[in-house]
A and B are shown apart, each in its own frame.
Chain A
């Protein structure tokens, strides 16, 4: 089983390296020794309050992958109704009940990126952000998100550029 996971993950890695996704700045295992833990870097979608931000995701892959979904969480702090501000945990059905083995790590990351611009405030993990949306205060929501994007996600980009 473990071999099957490694084979599939290597193929996914090759696919990504062959055609790098412009929206995913990075997608690779964190070390050569362990292929079951990956890092990904998301680029914020343009024309959204997340524009210009870079968020690092940590992907932990179970040995039963792809039958069971990978555990993905944000390492970079992000303000979003469905993402825990403190732990980075993501509430997304495709990472839980609606997972399908036809999904890949890349497509899962792209789904998360899509979640950023399509928040679901009715099942929040970040109540403050969700409440703004629920009240219809879109201006307030956008400025809050922009602030946190500049505070955390832009810094990281600069740090990466410096290092």
Chain B
């Protein structure tokens, strides 16, 4: 602080405290003690206040101090004692705590301008405020979008075709893929549906905006389809075949550019049960024993799309496990049920009364 003052003394600037009549350094002051006209600020403050002002001790005075330094000189030279800042309203005055009182550089008046406009253009303002409120509501609503899977606000929405539930694109895609990945228990029938309402949805449309069912959503879906119809289908490109055939959204282009017709897609059998067979058609006992622990389930209706070696007509090798959750025990009773239970609690058909099927 002191070194700064020594440096500053070389420039022969006028001491602004002296100009106000209260320089505590008196004749030892590094600044010029000359009186050029009246000070713009006839401050009625005592020496203590000046002291704090000088050392920057009071935090509330810093704004005045820093802003007034340069303008003071300018106004001194031009004899224009009203600094440009006086057009601004003192923010400390508005808070009723301006320590400079009337001598403050800044305007000390609580402006009623806005109120005046309010009364004159009240209608316009009402409209405006209503619009603002609506906007605010929209913002709030957007914040309320939460993915039903991760509970966060989605960055990219994954729109389902037949319902309006909200998901992140990534979340819903991970969920829809689970049936193919690791869990043998996840049913295709459940993963391809909406997690909330279980409505079937053949595909997911990524979108940066959320839209409920209506023209907006239809537009999003159609633009999405249009976009991906420009992308060559990776199945078709490789082999000229595509499992989705004509229902594929990607490009199936003939050499001349027209769309290649593949006919309707081959219908898959419903894959509601899981198949545990090795590639040569033998029952993979190790795979079964892994999941049998504590579980009983039904293997039937094999989906033989993937493994050509499996002979579908060979019914003798089909094994039915009765799934716990299924309610159609009686209808499946043609197949033989295989009760498996760990922890020595064993339930077999033989344990049941012979006529229990008649009861249920």
Contact = CB atoms under 8 A, between A and B. Distances in A.
Contacts of A7: 150-152
Contacts of B107: none
Interface in A96-129: 96-102, 120-127
B171 to A, nearest CB: 7
Interface in B304-360: 322-327, 329, 341-347, 351-353, 356, 359-360
B178 A68 contact: yes
A84 B175 contact: no
A66 interface: yes
Nearest to B347: A127
Contacts of B101: none
Interface in A70-99: 82, 84-87, 89, 91-93, 96-99
Nearest to A135: B353
A55 B15 CA distance: 83
Nearest to B172: A101
Contact of A124 (B183, B343, B347): B347
Contact of A122 (B294, B295, B327): B327
A68 to B, nearest CB: 6
Contacts of B324: 82, 91, 93, 96, 123, 125
Contacts, number: 100
Interface string B164-180: 01000001001100100
A2 interface: no
Interface residues of B, number: 41
B83 interface: no
B40 interface: no
Given A100-B198, A102-B195, A134-B353, A85 B345 contact: yes
B325 A125 contact: no
B300 interface: no
Nearest to B193: A100
B347 A136 contact: no
Contacts of A126: 345
Contact of A131 (B183, B186, B296, B352): B352
Taking chain A's interface residues, is the majority helix, strand, or loop, or is none over half, making it mixed?
Answer: loop
B325 A131 contact: no
Contact of A8 (B150, B296, B329): B150
Interface in B195-210: 195-196, 198
A121 B174 CA distance: 34
B345 A84 contact: yes
Contacts of B359: 134-136
Nearest to B187: A97
A101 B343 contact: no
Interface of B: 148-152, 165, 171, 174-175, 178, 183, 185-187, 190, 195-196, 198, 294-296, 322-327, 329, 341-347, 351-353, 356, 359-360
15 contacts: A12-B151, A67-B174, A84-B345, A85-B345, A96-B324, A97-B186, A101-B195, A120-B327, A122-B327, A122-B360, A123-B324, A125-B347, A127-B345, A127-B351, A135-B356
Interface of A: 4, 7-8, 11-12, 66-68, 82, 84-87, 89, 91-93, 96-102, 120-127, 130-131, 134-136
